[in-house]
Amino acid sequence: MSEKYKRSADFLLDAIFPRKCVCCNEIIDGEEELCDNCIRFIERVDPLKRCLFCGLEKPDCDCKYYLYHFKGAVAPFFNSGLAKKGIYDFKLNAKAHYSVFFAREMARTVTNELRDVRFDAAVYVPSSRLSYLKRGINHSFVLAKRVAEFLDIPLIKDSLLAKFHFGAQHKSDKLNRFKRARKVFRYNTKCSADLSGKTLLLIDDIKTTGATLDECSRQLLLAGAKEVYCVTAVISNRNKGQKKINYVMTDKKAEKILSDFGNNIY
């Protein structure tokens, strides 16, 4: 197709299917996915104010409360306001084209904040069969495919399995989420990729408590991965204005978990 006809085709497509802002759904011009107003007001995570291990702002860091299996977690946006609307439209309303914007921002965050890490491959949090049938897409896979392309790293498919639907997690406290996650996620023994010694980037749409990312990371480590880092599109800074969960990971508990993990006793 000649350049002239290509421009005409692009013009016609834009007229029939105009570009819309990912967050507010207003019609926009140009190549950006956000309108000027949303660019100003979308709530980004400040990398200078966050803990690179749990991903939360430093005053709300919960690394002293929990021993995570992943090495670090980052996200470009908070799970609030415009970003929350956009990611839920993508996740619940099957607006798959929104994944381009979020995946690009996730890749930029990884490049900027995990610049010293050399990733061997990307993996993603699996959807249960029920979730896939309800939504029609595995949103984590869609994001992971684009993030891997932006970062130019291979994507390992189906490394993890979700045995059944997670259920209404937003109604559970953090400890119950961790207990439920332990029952749901498993390494896929039929996965053809060898994870031995690999540094992996685990991708999901939302980090709330970290229970899902933690259990998926644990399964990948048990399968032989060297390290697992996580990136999500949005992160819930859920400690803001909320009472701290009264659970402290004591040195004795931490030593037992580390000992068990070293012996693969789970």
Is the model's pLDDT at 9 over the cut of 80?
A: no
pLDDT tens for each residue of 47-99: 999 998 999 888 888 887 788 999 999 999 999 888 888 888 887 766 777 88
Question: Is 243 a residue whose pLDDT tops 50?
Answer: no
Q: Binning pLDDT at 50, 70 and 90, where does residue 133 land?
A: low
What percent of the chain has pLDDT above 70? 71
- Is pTM beyond 0.85? Reply is no
pLDDT value at 8 more than 60 = no
Q: Which residue, among 34, 209, 189, 199, has the nearest Cα to 105 in the 3D structure?
A: 34
pLDDT score of 158: 92
The string of pLDDT tens digits covering residues 174-229 is 778 888 888 889 999 999 999 999 999 999 999 988 999 999 999 999 999 999 99
User: Per-residue pLDDT averaged across 153-176, rounded?
Assistant: 76
Contacts 24+ apart (CB under 8 A), 31-40: 33/98, 33/100, 33/101, 34/101, 38/82
The residue with greater pLDDT, 192 or 17, is: 192
Neighbours of 53 (CB within 10 A): 15
- Position 127 confidence tier, pLDDT thresholds 50, 70, 90: confident
**Percent of the residues in the chain that have a pLDDT greater than 90, as a whole number:** 41
pLDDT tens digits, residue range 245-265? 333 344 454 445 445 544 433
For residue 32, is pLDDT > 60? Answer: yes
Q: What is the mean pLDDT of residues 153-172?
A: 76
